Structure 1
Amino acid sequence: MIRAATPSDIPAIHRLIVELAIYEKEPDAVKASHDDLARALFGDKPAAECVLAEQDGVPVGLALFFTNFSTWTGKPGQYLEDLFVMPSARGAGLGKALLVHLAGIAVARGYGRFEWSVLDWNTPAIGFYKALGAKPMDDWTVMRVDGDALTALANSQ
């Protein structure tokens, strides 16, 4: 079952994010607290949305996403920040069900695209995404400024 997350799901969402970080070989990377997630997902101005995949009433997968915008299409788009299914729940079609659910949201909202990033070494995920019709954007490189570099950029003139 796929359903929209609620504020009472924050502990499960946090647990799944930590499990994703472990899978991506970054076990200490998660800095978000339960309060951070509650504000981001359910605060006055939510920055993102989350849907959960459940087995027997227990959240075993998540898709966390937000709206972006394409100046070229003149339409909003949907960016998938995190997709994760617990290893014990894989093979039951939950990853595909989450992506199908999100694609349905994008189409219903009139979005022009649905996109996400995947680690280069994650060949099983890349193959899975390609089988669903996704295509890699090989000519693009993700750029990021964070931490001290973000502060320095904000303070530069």
Structure 2
Amino acid sequence: MSQYPMTVQGAEKLRAELNELKTVRRPRIIQAIAEAREHGDLKENAEYHAAREEQGFCEGRIQDIEGKLSNAQIIDVTKMANNGKVIFGTTVTILNVENDEETTYRIVGEDEADIKNNLISVTSPIARGLIGKELDDVVTIQTPAGPVEFEIIAVEYL
């Protein structure tokens, strides 16, 4: 089975969610099922069926997170020397050469990506165009609006 890159923060977030699911949601769902069973006939018991469905989603998410964590390759860029090269986990500030617009992205694993918080997946076109490049390089990245030139103006190992 292949390994998936993940930042330390991403792994911590998944572990926290897993802990919440196992220690809070799972016992609450089990209690809801027990209470619904006490109401009698299970065939027409909407509360029972809803609780069973929620249990299925919860158990599925627990298995999903456990699988991801077991196959995660956790990369901590803070323990690496900053040589100005863009790699997984780095925070990169790029300048659009055409309109002088600055944007800062952090390159993270697929499960951690959140464009609203400028966290982009390592598999995204922007990240693929930046990885392996260095500070002050000018890169052309294919966007939906066509090719755009960016200059790498900062590479941080945070």
- Give the TM bin, normalised by the shorter chain: under 0.3
TM-score by length of 2: 0.24
Q: Which has the higher contact order (CA 8 A, sep 6+)?
A: 2
